Structure 1
Amino acid sequence: MLNIKKNFGYLFIFFYLLSPTSLTADTSEIKEILQLIQKDLRTLERAVYSESFSQSSNSNSNNSVKESEDVLTRHLLKLSEIEKQFQQLTNKYEEINFKIDKLNSRLSKVQADNQLRFQQLETSNVGIDSSSLTKLPTDTTNDKEKILPGSTQPQDLGTVSYKDMTNESESQSVQSIDATKTVVTETFQSEEKILPDGTPENQYEFATSFLKVGDYNMAERAFKEFVDTNPEHKLSGNAQYWYAETFRIRQLYTDAASAYLEGYQKYPKSEKAPINLLKLGVSLVQIGEKDQGCLMISGVKKQYPGATQSVLQKAKYEEKKFECKQNNS
């Protein structure tokens, strides 16, 4: 409708200018007439726009409501995602604090253990029977430093005197053996058993509890005692694997490789046998035996094709990581 009115106005101006009266009119009058026509056109345009706006506002009210609801829904979803991310960050922060607390507790345990060992060494040195050492023969003819029996330098057969072959030398040798036996008996200390009385399953669970709290020294002792006590049990292969893991976690790769090798030889059909062979290969590579380690890693798929997919994928990853294929070729 607005376009029709504009066109009508333009035609009116055109015919008016072509009329003979317009040709004789003054230019100032023509300008005034054009200004009046422009004002009328603006008034018409405002009226048309107001009517179109009133009609479109009623038709678009429902659409605007729907759009506002969609926007609100998107904002709510975004807020829920932010809330989940914040919760994950909070969980990570709490996990890091927990690990720091575990490290502090482990350090305090190590310090206490070292202090206890130093005290035991001091008490063991004090506990040696000094009376057995005083009975040893000494050279009273001069003021030289006392020399324990058997610590002198070797002599030629021709230099041995008759005095050294008398009964006194025999008694001297017997006393030396007794004194050495006394020293060994005093310094030897056997570790106490830490596994509780009960079924092997309960003992295995007890040993596993040390791993959960991060006490790998006690876990090492517990799993070793379990394997020695129950060598034929179905859980012995698992216990041997976790025994080796206590060394690997502490970066004692030589001890870990030895323990993994013992588990591979004694328990080749246990539940942990595939991962045990894989960790054996990794430990060998880490101690410098790359060729042997790569053979063990690549042998996981050959010896245990029915292993879990995670173990097989881990073996493939370790092959690429250590470049085993290039090295073997």
Structure 2
Amino acid sequence: MLIMAPAKTALLRATLLTVALSLPALPAAAGPLSIFKRDGGEQQTTIQLAQASDPRVAQLEEQVRRLNGTVEDLNFQILQLQEQIRKQLEDMQFRLDQMEGNAPGQGEGQSGSLPSEEPERAEAEPTTLTPAQEARAEMSEEVPMDAVEHSPYEEGAAPELGSPPRDLGNLTLDDLGNVSATENDLPATDETTVASLPPQPADPNAIYSEAYNRVLAGDYVGAESGFRQFSERYPEDPRAADAQFWLGESLRGQERYADAVEVFLDGTKTHAQSDKAPDMMLKLGVTLAAMGQKDVACETLKAIPDRYPDTTDAFRSRLHQEEAAASC
């Protein structure tokens, strides 16, 4: 019995060793890797929940929504502006077409054929000149020699101060020296008779010269009155286009831009063949720019070279200056 016990113990050990060797090998890192992956997923879920509950995330989302709404409003405003610009361009094109179609058949200076040479115009003034300064710069070419206003009295002649003296009547005195009777041969005046003002000068040279001198002096109100009177009385005068131009400049000097636009626009149609037509169209664009009508002003200025291709280099240089000033 004592000998069998150790033998059984050795047999049991050998059996256990054989069973252990017969078992398949298990990966050592299987357990820890599985645990790591599970712990990582839980950690990611925890981070997402924390972000969702953070008020700053909600604020950022609200800001994004507001920005999206602002972008939509801006897009709508851009569409509106584009529509307004399109309408203005169509209106300007319509006006230009009317100017071409309604031009008079016998414009100023048009007698079957255009003159072969145009007189040089002084268009090289800087864009900052006032109408009075422009008038001074163009004085030598705008005012003819016979338009200078001279004194109505010849040298050495005395002016006639009223009518010849008349008999004012007789006075009859009594013994005390008092007036007893009067004899007045003056004609009786009707109560309805109103003293009339002296008539305005009928000489077109005097009217034009007076109005032009008022432009030089900066009296744009007086210049407007004079040039308007000249245009109404003498529409066939060779200086009618110049008077129309300076009438518009007088209104522009008073900052009455809407009235000036009408005058310049009418001048480009009424005096389409005049040498002043390009200047009036240029001033039309400048006045529109002063009114804030930038798009229409630029379209007007850009149409000048096609409408008047024979302008001088000085005029074209001035046109480029006005386009730059209007940011065309």
Assess same fold via TM > 0.5: no
Q: Which has the higher contact order (CA 8 A, sep 6+)?
A: 2
TM-score for the superposition, normalised by structure 1: 0.38
| Higher percent of residues as helix | 1
